[in-house]
Amino acid sequence: MSVKITGTGSFIPSVIEKNENFYNHEFLNADGSTINSSNEVIVDKFKAITGIQERRYIKEELLNSDIAFFAAEKAIQDAKIDKETLDYIIVAHNYGDVKHDSEQSDTVPSIASRVKHLLRIANPKCVGYDLLFGCPGWIEGVIQAKAFINSGIAKRCLVIGTETLSRVVDKHDRDSMIYSDGAGAVIVEESSEDGGIITHETATFALDEAHFIFFGKTNHPEITDQRRYIKMYGRKIYEFALTNVPLALKTCLEKSDYNIHDVKKILIHQANEKMDEAIVKRFYKLHGLPMPEGVMPMTINLLGNSSVATIPTLYDMILKGQLENQEIKKGDVILFASVGAGMNINAIVYKQ
């Protein structure tokens, strides 16, 4: 028996926020001091580093749980299953439901319970819970689904990665240009076919790294409200990721029956184009090889960084033929990998 992804779905918000829309922002340093560059220069440097030229935000009336539901519906339809046969609904997110212009996150009831309610699933044996694991949350949810299935307590799980980072960004912080919204979902179930989830690797580095990504106050010194925003130490994260993610990928691949030449695609968390490219190049360098052209599909240039949603939306778009010059065929060996708050790292070797 294998454990496979049998259906995928995603929700890409319709509101497009282009880089030019940030020209009128008042960007400040973390200590509140003025940045000695024009916004045009700031935005141009940002694009050169991250690759982002636009990102997606949800409409004002929507919530994180809404877009998670939209993606889940599509995955259920794609898998052609009865939703009442789901054993688990695992929802990876970080900030819950944050209403437009609200200062408070809402996580009671859980996002998973809200999604189950919106799906109108009556079966009480379908258990829903939320997973807080930073950007690697969706991959960790897939790993947990596999564990449930292998243990015999589940046969079919819905795993969702969903986030609305536009609701928790500090408009006075240059890093606010990185973040976006989106949701991706998959059905994970036991299968008589070969392949599926082959091996996985997970690690948490918290001795010195736990607070590389955190919730902090605005950069604007004259704003005194108690609202907190997503913050990060970008350089520390870059160095951490470049050191540890390639090793996690290598370890994960070595535990499988496949080698580096078998890998057709690496679907990595869409965090930062330069960082992701450096990670994958170093992974291949560990094998004495150059990075193959086209091995790392990217969506960050148009969709931004939607945290837990980046990989499942990327995967769904490729499978649905929505990403130019990219495809995943039956039998292909692919890698999933992510790094994020915690600091957490994980990876999966998957055979389509």
d(CA 298, CA 311): 10
Give me the half-sphere count of Cα atoms (radius 13 Å) on the Cβ side of residue 324.
Answer: 1
Q: What is the largest CA-CA distance in the chain?
A: 61
Q: Of 33-37, 101-105, 170-174, which gets the smallest average pLDDT? A: 101-105
pTM of the model: 0.94
Under a CB-based contact definition with an 8 Å cutoff, are residues 314 and 267 in contact? Answer: yes
Q: Higher pLDDT residue, 143 or 40?
A: 143
H helix intervals, 37-167: 39-50, 64-79, 111-119, 137-151
**Predicted confidence (pLDDT) per residue in 111-155, tens digit:** 999 999 999 999 999 999 999 999 999 999 999 999 999 999 999
Spatial distance between the Cα atoms of 344 and 241, rounded to a whole number of angstroms: 10
pLDDT band (50, 70, 90) for residue 308: very high
Which are the contacts of 121, defined by CB distance < 8 A and separation ≥ 6?
83, 84, 86, 89
Strand order of the β-sheet with 181-191 is 2-11, 181-191, 156-164, 88-92, 127-131
Q: Answer whether the bond into residue 317 is a cis peptide, omega within 30°.
A: no
Domains of the chain from N-terminus onward: 2-193 (3.40.47.10), 198-351 (3.40.47.10)
Per-residue confidence band for 189, with pLDDT thresholds at 50, 70 and 90: very high
* Tens digit of each residue's pLDDT (9 = 90 or more) over 248-263: 999 999 999 899 999 9
Task: Give residue for tokens 């990102």.
Answer: 55
